[in-house]
Structure 1
Amino acid sequence: MSVHIEEIRLNLPHIELAAHLYGPEDGQPVLALHGWLDNAMSFARLAPQLDGLRIVALDLAGHGHSGHRPPGANYPLWDYALDALLVAEQLGWQRFSLLGHSLGASVAMLLAAALPERVERLALIDGLLPLTHEPEQAPQQLGEALKAQLALPGKRKPVYASVERAVEARLHGGYPLSREAAELLASRGLMPQAGGYTWRSDPRLTLPSPLRMSRAHVEACVRALRCPVSLVLAEEGIPVRHPQSMALIEDLPITLHRLPGGHHLHLDDEAGASAVADCFKPLFAAP
């Protein structure tokens, strides 16, 4: 059965974002936020299995068909949160839910913590807590980021002779994912280039962050959540790096699901998408 997906553009005051739109006009409003270096195709298998939802799956700034930040800007999590909020404003959504994977899950958590009156539900996949640095690490982190910015003009994006070569590169970079998942992401993430294809994503996305929150900052945000939260952790996904982090998750009123599969379990195959959907359906069915 074919699934209707509408391509839309969202003109924010500072940037234009692209998105896929799923579901009925009167469905529950949900913003879907993908992971780092992914795009809206991240939800191509999952969104059609969540009946009754009006899902806007964004290409985050710097990803997919969305615009890039202006020269001199970076990609901090809080700017993604502002983008998501402005999208909700443009859509006329006073209250909405967030569906996030990896980086998108961290952005969703921060937005829900900061503005609990706006966010109804959080459905998170293999992500919740942003990467942190303690205060004493800040000078070194900033130094590395500044040097990387200086070196950026000398870097060139890789060019692949074919889409298949680009898919192979994606299969061997970062967290493992299925070939089908890599092909879906590449279908939206690649653009023609002299000599072949290259990624649409902004090269600045691969630079080190000038600043990260401390563990105390992140804990304060997670404890500020007031909406129902359903979190799917993949057994072969991103490891929870600190025992304190897992203890924090288990100490909070978060519905926790552990499923077999890797970091992209919601995209790797239909079975994984179905399992994730089954975890989230009770969340969205609740009054």
Structure 2
Amino acid sequence: MIVRHLSVCKGGQILGRWSKSWKTVPLQGNQTRRNCSSLDQTRNEERKYEEVRIPVPWGHIAGKKWGEPEEIPVIAIHGWRDNAGTFDTLAPLLKFNFLAIDLPGHGLSSHIPIGVNAHYPDTIVALRQIVKHYGFNKISILGHSLGSSIGYAYAGLYPEAVHKYVSIECGRARILSHPKDLADDWGETIDSLLNVEKKLIQQQPPEFTYSELVERQQKGAFMSPSIKSTNILLKRGSRLSTTNPEKFVFTYDPRIRLDSFKRFTPDMLMAIGKQIKCHVLNIHADPGMQVKLEKEYEESVEILKESTSRLECEVVQGSHHVHLNNPERVAPLINNFMLS
């Protein structure tokens, strides 16, 4: 079921062009491996993609390029602890081409070096590095959860460089730091970070059976992705152990589980929202994320009504990972929005 919630339009926008073609760096070794035969069965062959590696100072950002580039490229950004595979079931239903990336420390992308602490704003820097690498003048953004909050921030910081922004289950209110929280939590966060980095230096990553991986991945996502969806995420989210051929390890950097002490304050979130000028499609799932929508999220939507040139808000039935579990519920909305 699809329920129209809100539609606001303030007129059109001039399309930009990008000046350089896509550049890809072939994967080496066993980067394209699959964990086990059961994962191969979940791979969708209906639409071909190309693996890419984008060089950055600390290594590379991995991604999946679905189709050839378009006039205005679309960059898809996944949620916390997920990876580019989160768009695998949606991709065959989309009528446009896009690049899905693994954020730093996720999927097949390089981890930030130990001792160089990564925080939420650094994900926006990573997106800007991708844009600079390809020489894009203007992009559209398709983001889920954390990825949507990155799209929100980027669209506000670079309002003339974003054409359209699709937000699925946006986590922008989940990346806020209230001043009192900063005062209460910074010390504990710093000590937790140092403890994790010590383990990364001294110990091998924990190993699990594949069934344990599935269980942990689902619990980490509050049971939102189905078993099939979890298998898809684990294609890039896990690898075989180097010491035990019967065990697996997660590929994500364990430091991403820590609360970052460099986030936006509520005032910063609202100020950024006031700068967003592009067309916006805001999709919320019901029941969706199993937390109450904070007032800051609702306030940010009200700001978008005034700042954007076009705003559409939609509600679909499903979990937080509705785009992965039930892509047919969101694909028509996204296609209509992107192609209009």
Give the TM-score, by structure 1 length.
0.91
The 1:117/1:264 distance shift into structure 2, 3 A limit, reads same
- Separation in 2, partners of 1:93, 1:117: 12
Alpha-carbon distance, 1:41 to partner: 0.2
> Which of the residues 56, 63, 67 maps onto 1:23?
67
| Alignment size in residue pairs | 281
In structure 2, list runs of 5 or more residues that go unmatched. Answer: 1-44, 306-310
Specify which structure has the bigger relative contact order, considering alpha-carbon pairs within 8 angstroms and separated by 6 or more residues. Answer: 2
The 1:244/1:139 distance shift into structure 2, 3 A limit, reads closer
Partner of 1:276 in structure 2? 330
Matched, 1:252 2:300: no
Partner of 1:263 in structure 2? 320
- Separation in 1, partners of 2:191, 2:109: 27
Alpha-carbon distance, 1:4 to partner: 0.3
- Separation in 2, partners of 1:57, 1:86: 15
- Separation in 1, partners of 2:72, 2:109: 24
Note the alpha carbon deviations across 1:74-130, whole angstroms, 9 max, x for none.
332221111111112222211110111111001111111001111111011101524
SS in 2 for 1:172: helix
SS in 1 for 2:269: helix
- Separation in 2, partners of 1:27, 1:181: 31
SS in 1 for 2:221: coil
Alpha-carbon distance, 1:244 to partner: 4.8
After alignment, is 116-125 or 233-242 more displaced? 233-242
Partner of 1:114 in structure 2? 157
Partner of 1:202 in structure 2? 253
> Percent identity between the aligned chains?
28
After alignment, is 32-41 or 133-142 more displaced? 133-142
Whether the 8 Å CA contact 1:61–1:69 is kept in 2: the answer is yes
Alpha-carbon distance, 1:251 to partner: 5.1
Matched, 1:243 2:295: yes
- Separation in 2, partners of 1:120, 1:179: 35
- Separation in 2, partners of 1:191, 1:283: 37
Partner of 2:6 in structure 1? none
SS in 2 for 1:122: strand
SS in 1 for 2:318: strand
Runs of 4+ in structure 1 deviating by more than 4 angstroms, as ranges, are none
Matched, 1:8 2:65: no
SS in 1 for 2:301: helix
Give the TM-score, by structure 2 length.
0.78
> Which of the residues 100, 103, 107 maps onto 1:60?
103
In structure 1, list runs of 5 or more residues that go unmatched. Answer: none
- Separation in 1, partners of 2:120, 2:295: 24
